[in-house]
């Protein structure tokens, strides 16, 4: 049995070795050429996906650009333009030494977006900007010879440097730590593949990855890939998930345009998995690139075990609902059996979003759909300290630790490495640092901020220039010949230098405005153990808006990146705190990091997936047996005190009959009930949402019947003439008062609707609304609203087919059932030994659960729970012939007496 790990990028990709340089593809390099670049032989000139090949251009005349001052210390040996290094993974060790220059084909996607959407200036600007960065390549720049070159080139499989490094490390660590499942990776090669279309090479690459590496490559057209990744994921989804609402309506065009590519790529993944799936396999989908895949697989494989983990944040429902395709995305996700999030906050946002946008019932454990339950969980990913420690022993790292320790021996060092986009808060960080220097003259000269900034393809609205200006301003104010307060590197540094930086730092500063789970801080904590450097136990300054901060329990220096003063104070605190405090904070953090490792995350998610799947399937209608009449008769005969709890609507009377304003009870139902209560060993209660007076009227011909009205607010014992009221009238009056005002407001705005005032609930009927569709849509919005605002009063609102019911959940069918059961126990006749519950609605599930529990606990001898509905349920048996089936069954029991 296999675990399919589906993630946008496979851990491997292909390098081609070309006999000669391929046709020149781009006009300029992504980042300014480095003045020092030619000092070192440049090896791995590995072009990244959709960014131009860095050409080996002659060094430019060095400029006096202040950002370049210290560049050569952190020279990028690999020449890697980093575009999507969401997680810093060690580069492929072997690749640079491989002979020749290495290439991948360029994209044939026909970007930029079609002219029709360019009518919006902003979008056009965006497209032009991307064009300038070399991301969109005009068709003319490619030639057939380019493709032929690849068809004949030598190639080989190497480690990919893009993609989800955290996931890869976790999977490897889990395998090492003894997880015994077999993994099959599913993903794209992260390189344009149109050029290989129809070649033998493509087939060979596919076969080799499958047989040798157990990886299923997903091929899709360059156009789909571009549209999916660069447009939909990077321009729409990622920003929204990080609280950057696309500036409507301009980016609306963008969203519409790129959505189909997102669907196509997701479809390609789903098809690939469906084709290779075998019974018993597990499917685990990763991250926001593939949100539709669970739903697409579920359609084809209703039985599949599917998990989904979202590595990024999940935003508040207010932000998520700005997406035009919000429903499709949610429904795609809900194809899974278990959906995992990094922290509880994201899980909560997701549940709230589902309940608001899809009007589904949610619990803290998941979402109840019509026919399935979907579990949710929060389990934070972590790092693999074992392999990190191996990398730390690399002589290269040691060398850099030496160099930097020497260079900064009498300075405090704050380090940071960020993508240069609006979300990471680089600007705020620099301003805070400036404020710190202004406020603390004694530290000038003694503290250095080393900021590594990675280029990004997202539009940055002049952020780049703004950051450059701030750096210049700080440096010109406080630098001298021997001192430069900010070392600003606009490029990535090799992994060894990165580890060295984390080792010698006195503090790491992360001021992201939003971030799912940041593992950089985990790595920093491990690197600060003092094993290779006498600087140790440094402080972590961490934005409270990161997922990580909720794990560390306040042992980090938590900051609000919007408050410069607070950030500046945190810097001061970080470098001035006593050694004892620093050590004790560090130890607590180290403890968290060692506990929450990637390996543990990996195995724990998979075992939760197994568990959820099993529980869900044990409630599956298909796996629940039909009610066995013979067996039931036997149980019935053996018992002396029998209690029946029978739902009314949908169980004893059809919903159609109920639609009439005065439902008439068919004689048959009354006759059967009469027969049943004729036996004095039987106590029968009808459970209903109706009012007391309605039930009185409906069942006046069966005086020995017990009645439960308004879903549990009122109980009438058999042969009694008065009702017991359970709800506290004062409390009810109080919440009704506030809810009624709200409902009144909607009533006035929904012509044709009406409010029904029951003793324990308020019902807003919009069945006859003039504009039903409109009323229905608005109702789902404000239902959630009432629901949330009344939570404290234990009141909840539920939207049904054509009405909204607002009622207290202090009094429900199961509280009524409990009450009745306790009463009977105290009666001289003794406690019931036979319990039968029949129902078909969600409300009845709680009664099933209650009854099953009584039997499990040995309180009653026989508990028979029967559902008529086709969805998944807590009931132990089903009855498929609906109402007539119930009547036949009860009739048969009555005849046994
Ligand atoms: C109402 O709130 C409860 C929790 O208080 C939640 O379980 C339920 O899903 C919510 N329903 C809607 C429609 O928002
Ligand atoms: C974590 O934060 C660092 C620094 O802010 C950033 O460079 C890195 O990309 C982040 N990692 C992830 C997984 O987002
Ligand atoms: C999934 O939900 C069910 C029903 O609420 C619960 O019994 C089960 O423990 C949950 N599974 C996990 C892994 O949380
Ligand atoms: C419920 O409310 C009605 C009026 O709305 C009232 O006549 C009745 O007495 C109340 N109590 C019961 C038990 O129905």
> Hey, which of 697, 729, 759, 807 would you mutate to test ligand 4's pocket, going by the most ligand atoms within 8 Å of its Cβ?
759
Q: Is 360 in the pocket of ligand 3 (CB under 6 A)?
A: no
Q: Is 337 in the pocket of ligand 3 (CB under 6 A)?
A: no
Distances (CA, A) of 691 to 156, 671, 695, 711: 75, 23, 6, 9
Residue 465's pLDDT is 84
pTM > 0.85: no
Residue 54's pLDDT is 36
**Which residues are within 8 A (CB) of 626 and not within 5 positions of it... i.e. 6 or more apart?**
877, 878, 879, 880
Q: Count how many Cα atoms sit within 13 Å of the Cα of residue 684 in the half-sphere of its side chain.
A: 25
Which band of pLDDT confidence, cut at 50, 70 and 90, is reported for residue 688? very high
Residue 249's pLDDT is 54
pLDDT (tens digit, 9 = 90+) per residue, 407-421?
Answer: 998 899 999 998 887
Rounded CA gap, 406 and 404, in Å?
Answer: 5
CA 605 – ligand 4 centroid, Å: 52
Which residue reads 């002396």 in tokens? 640
> Hey, which of 365, 376, 845, 853 would you mutate to test ligand 3's pocket, going by the most ligand atoms within 8 Å of its Cβ?
365
CA 791 – ligand 1 centroid, Å: 9
Token duo for residue 852 = 């099953």
Residue pair 666/654 in contact by the 8 Å Cβ criterion: no
CA 420 – ligand 2 centroid, Å: 11
> Hey, which of 367, 375, 379, 604 would you mutate to test ligand 3's pocket, going by the most ligand atoms within 8 Å of its Cβ?
375
Residue pair 205/155 in contact by the 8 Å Cβ criterion: yes
Domain segments of the chain: what residues? 2-16+113-378, 385-596, 621-726+811-895, 729-808
Distances (CA, A) of 76 to 25, 80, 798, 799: 23, 7, 59, 59
Residue pair 240/291 in contact by the 8 Å Cβ criterion: no
CA 759 – ligand 4 centroid, Å: 6
Rounded CA gap, 343 and 641, in Å?
Answer: 50
Average the pLDDT over each of 213-222, 710-719, 796-805 and give the range with the smallest value: 796-805
Helix 729-749 vs helix 772-789: angle between axes, to the nearest 10 degrees?
A: 150
> Hey, which of 89, 165, 429, 515 would you mutate to test ligand 2's pocket, going by the most ligand atoms within 8 Å of its Cβ?
515
Which band of pLDDT confidence, cut at 50, 70 and 90, is reported for residue 120? very low
Residue nearest to atom 8 of ligand 3 (CA): 612
> Hey, which of 610, 612, 619 would you mutate to test ligand 3's pocket, going by the most ligand atoms within 8 Å of its Cβ?
612
Question: What 3-state class would DSSP assign to 518?
Answer: coil
Token duo for residue 466 = 């703004």
Q: Is 604 in the pocket of ligand 3 (CB under 6 A)?
A: no
- Across the strands, what pairs with 154? 17
Residue 66's pLDDT is 34
Residue 869's pLDDT is 82
Average the pLDDT over each of 299-308, 668-677, 857-866, 872-881 and give the range with the smallest value: 872-881
Residue nearest to atom 5 of ligand 2 (CA): 418
Neighbours of 759 (CB within 10 A): 17
Question: Exposed, middle or buried: residue 739 (CB in 10 Å: 0-12, 13-18, 19+)?
Answer: buried
Average the pLDDT over each of 27-31, 397-401, 441-445 and give the range with the smallest value: 27-31
Q: Is 87 in the pocket of ligand 2 (CB under 6 A)?
A: yes
Q: Is 311 in the pocket of ligand 2 (CB under 6 A)?
A: no
CA 418 – ligand 2 centroid, Å: 6
Going edge to edge, which strands form the sheet with 154-159? 102-103, 12-17, 154-159
| pLDDT, average across residues 424-443 | 92
Residue 499's pLDDT is 94
Confirm whether 2-16+113-378 and 385-596 share one CATH topology. Answer: yes
Rounded CA gap, 89 and 496, in Å?
Answer: 11
Q: What is the DSSP string of 430-476?
A: HHHHHHHHHH-GGGTTTEEEEEEEE--SS--TTHHHHHHHHHHHHHH
Token duo for residue 365 = 């454990």
Q: Is 761 in the pocket of ligand 4 (CB under 6 A)?
A: no
Which atom of ligand 4 lies closest to the CA of 692? Answer: 14
Residue nearest to atom 5 of ligand 3 (CA): 365
Q: What is the DSSP string of 320-342?
A: HTT-TTHHHHHHHHTTSSEEEES
Average the pLDDT over each of 12-26, 451-465, 868-882 and give the range with the smallest value: 12-26
Which band of pLDDT confidence, cut at 50, 70 and 90, is reported for residue 830? confident
Which band of pLDDT confidence, cut at 50, 70 and 90, is reported for residue 885? confident
Check pLDDT > 70 for residue 487: yes
Distances (CA, A) of 697 to 345, 663, 694, 843: 49, 10, 5, 23
CA 318 – ligand 1 centroid, Å: 16
Question: What 3-state class would DSSP assign to 482?
Answer: coil
CA 88 – ligand 2 centroid, Å: 8
Question: Exposed, middle or buried: residue 741 (CB in 10 Å: 0-12, 13-18, 19+)?
Answer: exposed
Which atom of ligand 1 lies closest to the CA of 352? Answer: 14
Residue nearest to atom 1 of ligand 2 (CA): 518
Residue 715's pLDDT is 94
Q: Is 529 in the pocket of ligand 4 (CB under 6 A)?
A: no
pLDDT (tens digit, 9 = 90+) per residue, 295-320?
Answer: 999 999 999 999 999 999 999 998 99
CA 275 – ligand 3 centroid, Å: 29
Which residue reads 């057939």 in tokens? 144
Question: Exposed, middle or buried: residue 561 (CB in 10 Å: 0-12, 13-18, 19+)?
Answer: buried
The distance of Cα 707 from the centroid of its chain, to the nearest Å, equals 45
Which band of pLDDT confidence, cut at 50, 70 and 90, is reported for residue 457? low
Neighbours of 463 (CB within 10 A): 18
Which band of pLDDT confidence, cut at 50, 70 and 90, is reported for residue 792? confident
Token duo for residue 614 = 């099993």
Check pLDDT > 60 for residue 401: yes
Which residue reads 């009314």 in tokens? 648
> Hey, which of 796, 803, 806, 810 would you mutate to test ligand 1's pocket, going by the most ligand atoms within 8 Å of its Cβ?
796
- Across the strands, what pairs with 447? 412
Which atom of ligand 4 lies closest to the CA of 714? Answer: 13
Rounded CA gap, 67 and 471, in Å?
Answer: 8
Rounded to the nearest integer, the mean pLDDT of the chain is 82
**Residue 750 phi, psi dihedral angles, 5° rounding:** -125, 85
> Hey, which of 83, 84, 85, 86 would you mutate to test ligand 2's pocket, going by the most ligand atoms within 8 Å of its Cβ?
86
Residue nearest to atom 6 of ligand 1 (CA): 362
Which band of pLDDT confidence, cut at 50, 70 and 90, is reported for residue 248? low
Q: What residues are in contact with ligand 1 under a 6 Å CB criterion?
A: 355, 359, 361-363, 783-784, 787, 791, 796
CA 616 – ligand 3 centroid, Å: 8
Strands 834-839 and 862-867: parallel
> Hey, which of 689, 691, 692, 707 would you mutate to test ligand 4's pocket, going by the most ligand atoms within 8 Å of its Cβ?
692
| pLDDT, average across residues 658-673 | 75
Among 32, 39, 42, 37, smallest CA distance to 78 is for 42
> Which CATH number does 621-726+811-895 carry?
3.40.50.1000
Residue nearest to atom 2 of ligand 4 (CA): 759
**Residue 349 phi, psi dihedral angles, 5° rounding:** -60, -40
**Which residues are within 8 A (CB) of 130 and not within 5 positions of it... i.e. 6 or more apart?**
111, 112, 136, 230, 457
Token duo for residue 387 = 């392999």
Residue pair 367/351 in contact by the 8 Å Cβ criterion: yes
Rounded CA gap, 176 and 247, in Å?
Answer: 46
Strands 706-709 and 682-687: parallel
Question: Exposed, middle or buried: residue 132 (CB in 10 Å: 0-12, 13-18, 19+)?
Answer: exposed
Check pLDDT > 50 for residue 154: yes
Distances (CA, A) of 448 to 16, 86, 402, 562, 589: 42, 25, 17, 22, 24
Residue nearest to atom 6 of ligand 2 (CA): 418
Rounded CA gap, 414 and 501, in Å?
Answer: 9
Residue 289's pLDDT is 97
The distance of Cα 878 from the centroid of its chain, to the nearest Å, equals 35
Helix (H) or strand (E) holding 169: helix 165-176
Residue nearest to atom 14 of ligand 1 (CA): 784
Residue pair 567/552 in contact by the 8 Å Cβ criterion: no
Strands 795-799 and 803-808: antiparallel
CA 513 – ligand 2 centroid, Å: 12
| 296-301 own/partner pairs: CB under 8 Å, 24+ apart | 296/266, 296/267, 296/270, 296/332, 296/335, 297/270, 297/273, 297/335, 298/335, 298/336, 299/335, 300/270, 300/274, 301/274, 301/277
Rounded CA gap, 890 and 838, in Å?
Answer: 10
Query: 2-16+113-378 belongs to which homologous superfamily?
Result: Glycogen Phosphorylase B; (3.40.50.2000)
Residue 102's pLDDT is 53
The CATH T-level fold of domain 729-808 is Alpha-Beta Plaits (3.30.70)
Helix (H) or strand (E) holding 284: strand 282-286
Strands 754-757 and 714-716: unpaired
Query: 385-596 belongs to which homologous superfamily?
Result: Glycogen Phosphorylase B; (3.40.50.2000)
Which residue reads 């409010």 in tokens? 755
CA 364 – ligand 3 centroid, Å: 9
CA 87 – ligand 2 centroid, Å: 6
Q: Which ligand lies nearest the alpha carbon of 511?
A: 2
Q: Is 107 in the pocket of ligand 4 (CB under 6 A)?
A: no
| pLDDT, average across residues 140-144 | 44
Q: Is 510 in the pocket of ligand 2 (CB under 6 A)?
A: yes
CA 624 – ligand 2 centroid, Å: 48
Rounded CA gap, 32 and 438, in Å?
Answer: 32
Could you tell me which residue, 814 or 881, shows the higher pLDDT?
Answer: 814
Among 644, 641, 634, 639, smallest CA distance to 681 is for 641
Rounded CA gap, 227 and 230, in Å?
Answer: 6
Residue nearest to atom 10 of ligand 3 (CA): 612
Residue 659's pLDDT is 64
- Across the strands, what pairs with 799? 804
Rounded CA gap, 406 and 504, in Å?
Answer: 10
Q: Which ligand lies nearest the alpha carbon of 694?
A: 4
| pLDDT, average across residues 195-199 | 80
Which residue reads 């900051």 in tokens? 559
pLDDT (tens digit, 9 = 90+) per residue, 499-558?
Answer: 999 999 999 999 988 888 888 999 999 999 988 888 889 999 999 998 888 889 889 999
Rounded CA gap, 718 and 807, in Å?
Answer: 26
Average the pLDDT over each of 172-186, 358-372, 567-581 and give the range with the smallest value: 358-372
């Amino acid at each position: 049995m296999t675990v399919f790990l589906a993630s946008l990028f496979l851990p491997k990709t292909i390098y081609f070795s070309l006999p000669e340089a391929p046709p020149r593809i781009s006009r300029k390099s992504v980042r300014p050429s480095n003045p020092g670049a030619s000092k070192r032989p440049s090896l791995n000139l590995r072009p990244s996906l959709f960014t131009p090949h860095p050409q080996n251009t002659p060094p430019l005349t060095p400029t006096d650009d202040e950002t370049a001052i210290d560049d050569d210390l952190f020279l990028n040996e690999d020449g890697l333009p980093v575009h999507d290094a969401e997680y810093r993974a060690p580069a492929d060790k072997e690749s640079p030494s491989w002979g020749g220059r290495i290439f991948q084909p360029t994209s044939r996607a026909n970007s930029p977006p079609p002219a029709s959407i360019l009518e919006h200036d902003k979008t056009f600007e965006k497209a032009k900007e991307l064009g300038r960065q070399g991301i969109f390549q005009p068709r003319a720049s490619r030639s057939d010879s380019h493709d032929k070159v690849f068809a004949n080139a030598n190639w080989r499989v190497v480690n990919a440097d893009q993609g989800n490094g955290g996931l890869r490390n976790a999977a490897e660590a889990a395998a090492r730590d003894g997880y015994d499942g077999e993994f099959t990776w599913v993903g794209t090669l992260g390189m344009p593949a149109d050029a290989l279309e129809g070649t033998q090479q493509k087939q060979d690459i596919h076969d080799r990855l499958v047989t040798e590496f157990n990886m299923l490559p997903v091929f899709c057209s360059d156009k789909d890939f571009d549209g999916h990744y660069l447009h939909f994921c990077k321009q729409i989804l990622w920003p929204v998930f990080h609280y950057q609402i696309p500036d409507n309506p301009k980016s609306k065009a963008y969203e519409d345009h790129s959505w189909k590519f997102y669907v196509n790529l997701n479809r390609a993944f789903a098809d690939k998995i469906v084709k290779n799936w075998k019974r018993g396999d597990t499917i685990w989908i990763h991250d926001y690139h593939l949100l539709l895949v669970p739903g697409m697989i579920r359609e084809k494989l209703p039985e599949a075990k599917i998990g989904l983990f979202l590595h990024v944040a999940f935003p508040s429902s207010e932000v998520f609902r700005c997406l035009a395709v919000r429903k499709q995305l949610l429904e795609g996700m809900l194809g899974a059996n278990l959906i995992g999030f990094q922290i509880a906050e994201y899980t909560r946002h997701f549940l709230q979003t589902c309940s608001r946008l899809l009007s589904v019932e949610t619990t803290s454990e998941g979402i109840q759909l019509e026919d399935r339950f979907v579990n949710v969980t929060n389990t934070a990913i972590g790092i693999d300290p074992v392999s990190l420690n191996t990398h730390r022993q690399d002589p290269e790292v040691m060398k850099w630790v030496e160099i930097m320790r020497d260079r900064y021996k009498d300075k405090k060092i704050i380090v940071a490495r960020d993508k240069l986009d609006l979300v990471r808060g680089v600007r705020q960080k620099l301003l805070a640092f400036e404020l710190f220097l202004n406020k603390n003259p004694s530290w000038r000269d003694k503290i250095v901020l080393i900021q590594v900034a990675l280029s990004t393809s997202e539009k940055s609205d002049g952020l780049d220039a703004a950051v450059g200006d701030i750096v210049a301003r700080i440096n010109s104010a406080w630098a001298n010949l021997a001192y430069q307060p900010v070392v600003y590197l606009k490029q990535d540094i090799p992994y060894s230098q990165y580890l060295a930086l984390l080792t010698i730092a006195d503090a790491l500063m992360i001021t992201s405005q939003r971030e799912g789970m940041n593992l950089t801080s985990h790595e920093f904590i491990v690197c600060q153990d003092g094993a290779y450097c006498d600087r140790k136990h440094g402080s972590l300054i961490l934005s409270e808006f990161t997922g990580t901060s909720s794990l560390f329990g306040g042992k980090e220096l938590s900051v609000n990146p919007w408050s410069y003063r607070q950030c500046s104070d945190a810097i001061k605190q970080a470098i001035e705190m006593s050694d004892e405090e620093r050590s004790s904070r560090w130890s607590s953090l180290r403890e968290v990091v060692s506990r929450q490792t990637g390996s543990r995350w990996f195995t724990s998610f998979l075992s939760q997936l197994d568990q959820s799947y099993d529980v869900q399937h044990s409630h599956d209608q298909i796996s629940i047996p039909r009610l066995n009449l013979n067996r039931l008769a036997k149980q019935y005969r053996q018992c002396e005190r029998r209690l029946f709890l029978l739902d009314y609507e949908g169980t004893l009377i059809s919903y159609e009959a109920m639609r009439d304003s005065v439902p008439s009870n068919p004689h048959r139902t009354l006759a059967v009930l009469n027969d049943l209560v004729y036996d004095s060993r039987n106590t029968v209660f009808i459970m209903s949402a109706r009012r007391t007076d309605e039930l009185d009227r409906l069942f006046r011909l069966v005086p020995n019947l017990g009645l439960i009205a308004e879903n549990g607010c009122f109980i009438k014992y058999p042969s009694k003439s008065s009702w017991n009221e359970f709800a506290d009238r004062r409390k009810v009056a109080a919440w009704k008062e506030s809810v009624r005002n709200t409902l009144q407001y909607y009533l006035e705005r929904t012509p044709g609707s009406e409010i029904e005032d029951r003793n324990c609930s308020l019902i807003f009927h919009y069945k006859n609304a003039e504009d039903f569709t409109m009323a229905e849509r608005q109702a789902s919005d404000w239902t959630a609203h009432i629901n949330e605002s009344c939570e404290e009063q234990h009141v909840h609102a539920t939207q049904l087919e054509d009405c909204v019911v607002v009622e207290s959940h202090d009094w429900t069918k199961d509280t009524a059932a409990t009450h009745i059961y306790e009463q009977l126990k105290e009666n001289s006749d003794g406690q019931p030994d036979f319990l039968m519950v029949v129902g078909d609605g969600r409300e009845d599930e709680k009664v099933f659960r209650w009854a099953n529990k009584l039997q499990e606990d040995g309180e009653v001898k026989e508990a028979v729970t029967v559902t008529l509905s086709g969805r998944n349920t807590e009931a132990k048996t089903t009855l498929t012939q609906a109402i007539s089936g119930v009547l036949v069954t009860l009739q048969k029991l009555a005849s046994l007496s």
